[in-house]
Structure formats: C-alpha cells, structure tokens
Chains A and B, each alone.
Chain A
Amino acid sequence: MADEMQLLEERVNREYEYGFSTDIETDTAPKGLNEDIIRLISRKKHEPEWLLEWRLKAFRHWEKMTMPKWANLQYPEIDFQDIIYYAAPKTKKAKPGKLEEVDPELLKTLDKLGISLNEQKRLTGVAVDVVMDSVSVATTFQEQLAEKGIIFCAMSEAIQKHPDLLRRYLGTVVPMTDNFFAALNSAVFTDGSFCYIPKGVRCPMELSTYFRINKENSGQFERTLIIAEDGAYVSYLEGCTAPRRDENQLHAAIVEIVAMEHAEVKYSTVQNWYPGDDAGKGGIYNFVTKRGICKGNNSKISWTQVETGSAITWKYPSVILKGDNSIGEFYSVALTTKFQQADTGTKMHHIGKNTRSRIVSKGISAGKSQNSYRGLVKVAKTAENARNFSQCDSLLLGDKCGAHTFPYIESKNNTAVVEHEATTSKIGEDQLFYCEQRGLDAEKAVALIVTGFAKEVMNNLPMEFAVEAQKLLAVSLEGSVG
C-alpha cells in the first residue's frame, strides 16, 4: 500500500513534457471580442461575405447566451474579453506552399513534438495538418491524396478553394446556436482541418491534425469538418499539446463529421493539453463540441479518445444515428491527476431503424482530480430495433479524488434494447496480491492492472496512435514502468 502511494505521489509530481513554448513572431489581434475582431479575422482570412455574416450571426446569438453550469466542474468565470482570438505564426506568405518555406523555428517545435514533417514526407503512413495557435501551418501529402480525389487541407484553404462544399456542410451537424461554446467557436474560429473523401474512396493513409497553443493569453478555436461520401472510409487522428503557462488558456473547438451511405469514419483523439501544475495553477480549459451524423444508411462513426491533459475537459463526442442500420461507437479513456477535472462522455441519438451504438468509457482518477462520465442514449420512436450497450468503469487511485457517473437513458421505442452498466472501485487488493505473488513489484503490478483496465479502448486506436497513447498513459501514470 505504501509503495502504491509512493507511485501515485511520483505520478502527481510528474512534469508536463510538452511544456515548452516556441519563440516565433506571431501576428495577433488585440485582446477582446466584438464585431470588429470578427471582421478582422474574416478579413485576414480573405473570407467571402456569407461566412462573415454567418460568424456575426453566431456572435450575436452568443452574446445572448450564458456559460453552462450543469457540468460537474468548478472553475472561475472566464473573462472572454481577456483573450486573444487570433494569433498566427508570421510567415512570409499567407500560407507556406512547401515544407521548405516553413519557419525553421516552427519546424523545430514540430520536431520536439515528435512530428517531424520532413520525416513524415518520407514515411508513408500519416498525412498531417498542423494547427499552431489559430492557424494551420503545414499540411503534408496533399498531392498524393488529391490523386484519389481526397481533399485534406486547412479550413482557411478550403474556404478559398472549396466554398461550395463548405457552405453546404458547415454548421449542419453542430449548428452555430447549439451551445455556448459552439456559438463562440462559430463566431471566431480561425482555422482547422477540412477533409472530404469522395464516393467509394478508401483513404489510403491515416489523416492527422496536430493542435498546439503557443501564444500567451490566446484562445484556440479551430474547426474540423470531415465529409465521407457514399462508401468512403477514413481514419482521422487528432493530437493536442500546449506550453506550460500559469494562466488558464481556453480551447473551444468544433468537430463535425458527416457520413453518407455505407461510409465509415473513425476519429481518434489523444488529448494532452497542459493540465496545470501541482498546485492546480494554469492549464487549458478544454470546451469542445464534437458531433457526427450517420446520414446515410449503413454508415458508421466511431470516436476513440484518450484524454490525459487539460485542467478542465468538457467534451461529449456524439453520434446522430439517422440512417437505418447505422452504427455509432465511443471508446474513451480519461485519466485525471493533480487538480484536473473532466466531465466527458457521449450522446447517441438513435433515429433510424436497426441502429446500434456501443459505449465503453474508462475513467481513472488520481491525485485531487474529479472525473465524471456523462452520457445520453436517446431512442426515438422511429428507431425500431435500436440497440445500445454502455459500459462505464472507474478506477480510483488515492483517497482525495472522485469518480462520478451520470448516464441518461431515454427510450420511446418498445423494440429497442438499451443496457448500461457501471462500476467504481479501486484496484483490488486481491489483484495486487496476485501480481505481487508472481514476482511483480507493487509499481509494476499497478501499471499492469491500469493498462489492462484501459486495454479495451486502447485496442481501438489506430496503430500509429496506440503506441503514442500507451506511452502517454505510461508516463502519465505508471511511473517508471512503460
């Protein structure tokens, strides 16, 4: 028991690895939020008139809204006038066309993060779009993807090159009035990734976005839109880090996914924003709206997330199962330590016939953190034979943390079957004893059990990410054991 405590102690004292900041000249807008700032952002991005109008509409709506208080989270009022809404690394051109033109400082940062764009170029594997502060700085493999008709580029580029597609889909899954943070994002979003997979195309490589907040006092508001046409398939990865700062920074993103008939989209996240220091100071406020719609029949959307960072996580990746026989999945590992607070989960809206959804959520809380699962499974009257299974397990490490489960189940169909089960416990002494008896020390035993606890979710990550996520859990939790 003492060993276990010591291990946890170590974990709590572990420093944040990605806490460096890069000294790059940035082009920033003044602090604060008003219509002029939105016009400025829109002008800087050379946006068409309709988008500016759309932003302003969202802003006017946002002004009337108040910050949601229902989550099991405690945080001070956020002063939205004290945030920089636009910060872009300065480059000679508006957007680097080739890798060579990217600021060398920036490349160094990316190297530190383990995303060497040069290397990426050589290795066939993952196409990356990197978003630093608010602007997409580099996208790899665009040409190779274009051959197949796949569009994978920065949002700002998509606005210029594919306005029709954008206009058709932007805000259709997460309307600008959806919630407080969605409205805020719609008003001020600066960049993000755009991905379009045409009919019948199976994307040959993993697509990936890397988000990083660099500039002080800035918020990051990016927007991702993924469209998979009939029969298309794509696996999409998202990673996030931020430098260590004493003040809290705001991240309010939106991800929208549209899956047409027979399409499949797999979206994986490894979220490792700066979680704040040992005293709970600093860290990212992560308020994200993610939602996908299975529009066509037989489509599938799968969310996998590994959440280890952020001072506050408020995130509910959802699936609207509109098409008949469509499938929604949600796999999540949420690890909170120190003073982190996470309120995360999913929503599954069953509308179509024979729709299926599966939720597996694993929460691990340590230190003085609070970890909540909040999920909704809603079966509409039209969802004949809908089927849901949810499992939410929580593991408590230490006696100062909390683990909470708030599942909501609403059923209006008498042929639907919905099941939910949840357990909360600490690591069983019998399990520990079993491992120790076979020659593992306490530390390794804890590591083994935690890894096993999260395995079901980890298995659902794409290979490239699984390694990173395993490592992340290892450094985050398992002390010296990897």
Chain B
Amino acid sequence: MDTIRTEYLEERFKELQSAQTGSALQNWRSEGFKNFNKLGLPTLKNEEWKYTGISRLFTKDYTIPSKKDNVIDREIVDKTAIPGASGMEHLVFVNGKFNKDLSSFQSNDGFEICSLEEAFNGKYHEDAEAYFNKSSLFIKDGIHALNSSFMNESVFIKIRKNYHATKPFYFDHIFDTTSNHLLASPRILVVIEENANVQMIGSYYTHGSMDSFSNEVMEIVVKENARLEYYKIQNDTPNGSHTGTTHIRQIGKSYVHTVNISLNGGMIRNNTDIIMEEQANEAHMYGLYFLKGNTHVDNHTLVDNTKPHCFSNELYKGIIDEHATGVFSGKIYVRPDAQKINAYQSNKNILLSDTGTINTKPQLEIYADDVKCSHGCTVGRLDDEALYYLRARGINKDLAKSMLLKAFADEIVMQIKIEQLKEYVETQISDRLQLAD
C-alpha cells in the first residue's frame, strides 16, 4: 500500500498564495486550506464517502498549475471537443483555468464572463459576495475545501435578465498531463437572472499519459422564472479522475434539468445538489453511468426542499461491466414546514460481470407530513424473458443483449435536449455495445 501524501500541498499552497498577493480570493483560499487541514481527506468511515476510497488518489504528488499553465495547442482543443462545439459558446478551461483566447463565442450580449477576482472587485461584487462559496455550507469535506484552497483563474458568469440563449454554453475542460501528474481545481460561479433560459454542457479530457485529478466546484444560482439545463458528460481516459460538485440553488420559482452521463474515466465522484429555496420549484435529475474497466463512479445527489410545493424527479441508471464500480447515493430532504412536496427518486442498475460492484443508497429524510415522497431502486441482470423473446426471433445472444442495454440506457439519453450532444452520446453507447446504427 502506497502512503498517502498531503504534506507537500502546504508548500504548493504557499507558493500559490505568494504568487497572487492582493487577489480577492486570497482569504477564501486561506480559509479553504485551513478547512482542508482541519477536515483531512475523507475516509471510508465518513458516511458520505463510504463506498469511494478517495485517498488512494493521493498516493502521488500532483503539480498545481500556476497562473501561466493555461495554454494548450488549439488543435488538441478542436480535436477533443464534442461535436458541434464550434457553434456553441465554447469556454475552454486548461488545467482548471479559463483560457479566453482559446474560447469562442457566438453572441456577445446577454451574458457576461469575467474572472471571479474581477467580479469581486468590479460591478458584480454584490453577486459574488451573495452567492460565492455557499456550497461549502452543504458539503463539508476535505475535497471541497481542497478546491477552495487551490482555485485560481476562477470564472464568474452572469446570464442577463430575459436572455434566451440560443446556443448552449460549453465548459470544455482539458488537462495537460504530458509531463506531470496534475491537480486542477476549476471553480465556476454562474448567476442566471430572472426569465433567462440557458443550456450548459461540461466535459472533461485528459491529454497526456500522466494522471489528472480535477476537483471542480460549480455553483449555479437560478432566479425567478429562469430555466437551466445542465449536461455533464464524462468520457475521459482511465487516468483522468474527477471529483465535482454541482451546487444549484433555485432561489426563485424556476426550472432545472440536469443530465449526468459517465462513460469512461478513473475514479469519479459527482455531487449534484439542488437546493429549492423558493416555493414551487421544479427539478429533474437524470444520470447514466455505463462503466467498464476499473472505472469507479460515485453519484451523490441531494434535493433539499426548504419551501412548500416543490417538485423533483430523479432517475439514475447504471450498467456495470468488467471491474467497474457504480455507486449511487441520493438524498431527498424535506425540511419542516415544506409541505406539499412531491419528490421521486429512482435508481436502476444492471450488473453484467461478476467482478463489478454496485452500491446504492437512496435515502429519504422527511420532517414535514403533507408530502408524497418515494424512492425505488433495483440491482439486477437482464430480463431472461426479454432475451428469450429476441432470440426466438433469430437475433443472436450478443446482439439481443446489446439491444436491451441500449434501450435501458436510452431512457436517460432521451433526456438530452441538445440534438448534437444526444447524437454524440448515442454513438458512444452504440460503439461500446458494438451496435451499428
């Protein structure tokens, strides 16, 4: 067993702080690192990390990218971006840092993009102060604190009132690990103003043979009558590990739709939190993890109903093959006085190999009485009768299996409302199942 090393991070932290004196994030980082030291790395004893031994990522030394480490060849960006990226508001993040030169935009009004420092120092300081780092109140672990410690070149995005974005925002994360193991800490704050309507996509790609560990925190604030669709696509190389928090606050009556697709990668942990802070919020959360190799995906979701009349629906599906591990932990939380809540949660898994593992933990915590909440979860194999039906019609076993798995996955893929993205995910799944279109 390799030893777990975090001491060297102290030195890296000091280097980062001294390189950026006077930054508005200085104090946030200090606080983050203080918390990191206090909390340490989560162990399996920590209930929220029971099935994900994150400490094994810390057996190697990572380099922390400095301010200038945010360049990469444009060719690599073009090659690895999802199809149709050129027609989107394409935001390129290299090693966790926003690179404006590589990014391209289709429209120039309706939204504002700047660094978090600029937001704190400029005209958006009210937004920044009101909304920044609120996720730390919900996720109190060393991994979140680690992001706060090392965030820099973080991004603030404001979607203006009444703006209906016709092009999706694409957060394209690329990690350059050609020479070193890399720890990237992307940090993004998005404020969606009243009546705005926006689609967002996030994807992750590790370029190079060394390991990348991206530890992302994305905070999104959704105001009255706004509408958000967020798609997180994980199709990284096996040496790309990721821990990501997507913390969505619905502070006005609004609509949120999230889809999380995990296909490839190393060790992945996704926290998707939806905090319903106003009455009659609506949220739909979907997830698909289709894993093979040694990929480990842990999806943690939280729907926190703090006000009455909210609705949420959640469906996560998993297909686990080879040595992969799929973890799902969902929580529906209904606060006292949040009456008339409808909340549904479902998790369905298929285990294909006898070396794979599925751990699932759907939870309800309910402190109000006039609610309708339910959850269901299944772990199983392909339906023998369905297989028989197909085989009786002359379809060979492998093809029949693939068809059933495709249909199983499609329920989630159909929830992607960006046509090009949907096609891309469908192709990825068909390829894996060796299905021709």
A-to-B contact residues, CB < 8 Å:
70, 72, 379, 381, 394, 396-426
Contact = CB atoms under 8 A, between A and B. Distances in A.
Nearest to B346: A421
B378 interface: yes
Contacts of B51: 410
A410 B356 CA distance: 11
Interface of B: 47, 51, 336-337, 339, 349, 351-354, 356-381
B354 A413 contact: yes
Nearest to A373: B364
A408 B359 contact: yes
Contact of B371 (A70, A407, A420, A425): A425
A70 B46 CA distance: 10
B358 A407 contact: no
Contacts of A406: 361, 363
List of 4 A-B pairs having minimum Cβ-Cβ separation, nearest first: A396-B369, A421-B376, A417-B380, A418-B379
30 contacts: A381-B354, A396-B366, A396-B371, A397-B369, A399-B337, A400-B336, A405-B364, A406-B363, A409-B377, A410-B51, A410-B357, A411-B351, A411-B358, A411-B379, A412-B356, A412-B358, A414-B381, A416-B379, A416-B380, A417-B379, A417-B380, A419-B379, A419-B380, A420-B376, A421-B374, A421-B375, A421-B376, A422-B362, A424-B371, A425-B372
A423 B376 CA distance: 8
With most chain A CB atoms within 10 A of its CB, the pick from B357, B369, B373 is: B369
Nearest to B50: A408
B364 A422 contact: yes
Contact of A409 (B364, B368, B379, B381): B379
B368 A399 contact: yes
Nearest to B45: A70
Nearest to B351: A414
Contact of A418 (B47, B367, B370, B378): B378
A411 B370 contact: no
Nearest to B51: A410
Contacts of A415: 354, 381
Contacts of A413: 351, 354
Contacts of B376: 419-422
B375 A422 contact: yes
Binding site secondary structure of chain A: strand
B378 A414 contact: no
Contacts of A403: 364, 366
Contacts, number: 118
B367 A410 contact: no
Contact of A414 (B354, B364, B366): B354
A424 B366 contact: yes
B369 A409 contact: no
B380 A409 contact: no
A70 B365 contact: no
Contacts of B377: 407, 409, 419-421
A376 to B, nearest CB: 9
A421 B47 CA distance: 22
A418 B357 contact: no
A424 B339 CA distance: 13
Contacts of A407: 361-363, 377
With most chain B CB atoms within 10 A of its CB, the pick from A405, A420, A424 is: A424
A404 B366 CA distance: 6
Contacts of B369: 396-399, 401, 426
A434 B365 CA distance: 29
B249 to A, nearest CB: 24
Contacts of A404: 363-366
Given A399-B337, A411-B351, 12 more contacts: A401-B367, A401-B369, A403-B366, A404-B365, A407-B362, A409-B360, A412-B358, A414-B351, A416-B380, A419-B380, A422-B374, A424-B371
B156 to A, nearest CB: 37
Contact of A399 (B336, B364, B365): B336
A400 B364 CA distance: 16
B363 A414 contact: no
Nearest to A376: B361
Nearest to A70: B47
Contacts of A410: 51, 357-359
Contact of B381 (A402, A405, A417, A423): A417
Given A411-B351, A414-B351, A426 B370 contact: yes
Nearest to B353: A414
Nearest to B331: A406
Nearest to A414: B351
A68 to B, nearest CB: 12
A423 B364 CA distance: 9
B371 A426 contact: yes
A73 B294 CA distance: 37
A398 B381 CA distance: 41
A5 to B, nearest CB: 11
With most chain A CB atoms within 10 A of its CB, the pick from B352, B363, B378 is: B363
A158 to B, nearest CB: 38
Nearest to A389: B378
